[in-house]
Amino acid sequence: MADVDSEVDCLHKELQWVLREEVHKVIHDVHYTLQECSKRFPIRTSEYSQVNQTKAQRILLASPNGTGDIKCMVTLRGDSITEADINFKHKQGKEHHVFKTSISEGFPWKLQQVQDAGNHLCNALSIIGSKDTNYRFKTGQEVLLLLDDLMKCLLKCRASLTLPKRKSLSDLVNNRNMQCFKPLVPNDVALSFYIHSSKLILAMYNLHHGQNKVEITSRYQVETVVQWLNETIVFFTLALQQCQQLKDKISILCGHDGIS
């Protein structure tokens, strides 16, 4: 029994040392990671955001399988595609021709995924900022609750960019961003810009309008890797790893009877 009491006492002392010496160091490391992420993010998420990161990028999107059914050149600025030139093959009757459309400044295509990720990053920075270096954590559970809230934000940050929401056919056809195109695309075509991990993708759907429903008959896409997307996802992942390591350590120490 004495040996058990001695072990619990040692674990309690180790937990107190971690709370006193290690927690703020890890929080500082996570904060630094998110500051670096914020510097690369193309919209303002904190005082660390850089205005020059919102400079326009002129980008060519290419087919992953080398086909030429659709061609696209875009200007990406922050969370918006401010300009685009798009050519795609379109069938009218029995004849195929090339349809050309564009997006011009003043009518951008908004990438909601970027805005969502930026909002979650702001929340993560706010959570970290709520505990300055003078704050003293009293229990392991208090730290675990903070880490859980922070990791939820970071997972949402990453998921906003890596797991694009699946759009229904109605979402594709009725997307208000479709009004950005001049001229408007034919009603048997739907276009959709979205982000998947480090790639900006333009998908084109050919539609068939039946008597009772609309069906997708074919789908094509062009894509390109965007450097800042890749970098921010790496920082989100690093911050999650830093949080998880601390969480694992404290969970082990708190997992014994009498330890909190």
Instruction: Give the pLDDT band of residue 91 (cuts 50, 70, 90).
Output: confident
High-pLDDT (> 90) share of the chain, % = 62
CA angle 244, 27, 143 (to 5 degrees): 65
Over residues 236-254, mean pLDDT: 94
pTM, to two decimals? 0.88
Instruction: Give the pLDDT band of residue 5 (cuts 50, 70, 90).
Output: low
Tell me: pLDDT of 178 over 50: yes
User: How confident is the model over 130-167, as pLDDT tens digits?
Assistant: 887 788 888 999 999 999 999 999 999 999 999 998 88
pLDDT at res. 252: 87
Tell me: pLDDT of 1 over 70: no
User: How confident is the model over 11-54, as pLDDT tens digits?
Assistant: 778 888 888 889 999 999 999 999 999 988 877 665 545 544 56
Q: Per-domain residue ranges for the chain?
A: 2-254
Over residues 112-132, mean pLDDT: 91
